[in-house]
Amino acid sequence: MKVLVTGANGQLGRHMRLLVEGNAPDAVAPSTQHEYHFTDIEELDITRRDAVFNYVLRQGITLVVNCAAYTNVDRAEEEESVADMVNHLAVRHLADAMKVNGGTLIHVSTDYVFGGGMHNRPCAEDAAVNPTGAYGRTKLAGERAIGEVGCHHLILRTAWLYSEFGNNFVKTMLRIMSQRECCQVVFDQVGTPTYAGDLARAIFDIVEHERFRGNEGVYHFSNEGVCSWFDFAKEIARQSGITSCNIAPCHSNEFPSKVDRPPFSVLDKSKFKRTFGTTIPYWTDSLAVCLSNLQQDNQTTR
Ligand SMILES: NC(=O)c1ccc[n+]([C@@H]2O[C@H](COP(=O)([O-])OP(=O)(O)OC[C@H]3O[C@@H](n4cnc5c(N)ncnc54)[C@H](OP(=O)(O)O)[C@@H]3O)[C@@H](O)[C@H]2O)c1
């Protein structure tokens, strides 16, 4: 099977590549039985419909793992049409291409499809969607486009993604905590961090064993457990041995933002675990893996 991984230079895409190439940080080097193609915007701009069709049909791709996205939540408010091109219209191109050749699209989506409401229970896949910002709206439109096209598909919604690569909360907090004596972090937004390495491994297993067959639909995936951003920051400091920065809790309204972030975005992963038999690591254990890799390679700037 020929597999295309788009957005291969992003957090999730980089981890997919590490796994396929046998360079995963946890040194469990799986061997692949499929042919993987990794592309990012330079090799394949997924907003270009003709380029998507050319690539997929010429290379005989029958499975796409779409890790490409417009992920800047704040900037999306100012350029929703650009975000929409990547998160919605391009997803339709990928879905159309898979429809034409009978392939499958594994698409990654987000907790931002859920809105503001004061939930206090983990969100199941069929919970009412109600995005409050442009990023969430465009991601939801991408999900719906897949349904409209009707290609074989899996939609994996995740949340609070971090990794050794790119920009994310872990790397930002490490930088801030090393530079300042104090900082404030919101405690009234609750969710579950997701290590991109864990999500990549879950996707890799689904692809390798072709478990997407007969299991189409929407799934939720994050690490196990629940915390606030404040708890997350405290744990980053604790595990990194940083004591020089006092981390204080604050309310979201002390950090005015263009976007209302979901106050409770804990995803219910029962369906994913039941369907794919996956054991998902607890969030603090995965954080330890990421921090150890960052420390080992001193890669906080990569
Ligand atoms: N990050 C989070 O906290 C989070 C939370 C929930 C869900 N998700 C979802 O998880 C998935 C993976 O997120 P991530 O954090 O790995 O994203 P990321 O690090 O931002 O990576 C996305 C990649 O897609 C590329 N890309 C952008 N436009 C493209 C285009 N037109 N054609 C091809 N590639 C393009 C980006 O390139 P440039 O960098 O050059 O733009 C980047 O390399 C996304 O679907 C995202 O919506 C993320």
Q: Which of 40, 114, 168 has most ligand 1 atoms within 8 Å of CB, for mutation?
A: 40
- Six-digit token string for 175: 């930088």
Share of the chain above pLDDT 90, in %: 88
Cα 153 to middle of ligand 1, angstroms: 19
pLDDT of residue 137: 97
Mean pLDDT over 226-237 rounds to 98
Mean pLDDT over 257-276 rounds to 93
135 is catalytic: yes
pLDDT of residue 27: 45
Mean pLDDT of the chain: 94
Q: What is the pLDDT of residues 194-222, one digit of tens each?
A: 999 999 999 999 999 999 999 999 999 99
Cα 45 to middle of ligand 1, angstroms: 12
- Does residue 123 have a pLDDT over 80? yes
The phi-psi region of residue 19 (left if phi > 0; otherwise alpha if psi is between -120 and 50; otherwise beta) is alpha
**Structural domains of the chain ordered from first start:** 2-165+193-224+265-282 (3.40.50.720)
- Does residue 2 have a pLDDT over 90? yes
Q: Atom of ligand 1 at shortest distance to CA of 169?
A: 3
- pTM of the entire predicted model: 0.96
What's the rounded Cα separation, in Å, for the pair 43 and 40?
A: 6
Q: What is the pLDDT of residues 188-197, one digit of tens each?
A: 999 999 999 9
pLDDT-based confidence at 273, cuts 50/70/90?
Answer: very high
pLDDT of residue 300: 44
Q: What is the pLDDT of residues 75-91, one digit of tens each?
A: 999 999 999 999 999 99
More confident residue, 256 or 282: 282
**Residues in the ligand 1 pocket, defined by CB under 6 Å:** 6-7, 9-13, 40-41, 45-47, 67-71, 86, 90, 108, 110-111, 139, 158-161, 166
Residues 6+ apart with CB under 8 A from 190: 226, 227, 228, 263, 264, 265, 266
Check: CB of residue 274 under 8 Å from CB of residue 212: no
- Does residue 298 have a pLDDT over 80? no
pLDDT of residue 120: 82
Cα 241 to middle of ligand 1, angstroms: 30
Q: Atom of ligand 1 at shortest distance to CA of 196?
A: 16
Which candidate in 36, 70, 112, 135 is catalytic?
A: 135
pLDDT of residue 302: 46
**Which residue, judged by its Cα, is nearest atom 10 of ligand 1?**
108
- Six-digit token string for 121: 């229970």
| Out of 15-24, 113-122, 262-271, 281-290, least confident range | 113-122
Q: What is the pLDDT of residues 64-73, one digit of tens each?
A: 999 999 999 9
pLDDT of residue 118: 63
Mean pLDDT over 234-254 rounds to 97
Q: Which of 16, 41, 93, 221 has most ligand 1 atoms within 8 Å of CB, for mutation?
A: 41
pLDDT of residue 214: 97
Q: Atom of ligand 1 at shortest distance to CA of 72?
A: 20
**Which residue, judged by its Cα, is nearest atom 41 of ligand 1?**
70
- Six-digit token string for 101: 């050749």
- Does residue 301 have a pLDDT over 70? no
The phi-psi region of residue 200 (left if phi > 0; otherwise alpha if psi is between -120 and 50; otherwise beta) is alpha
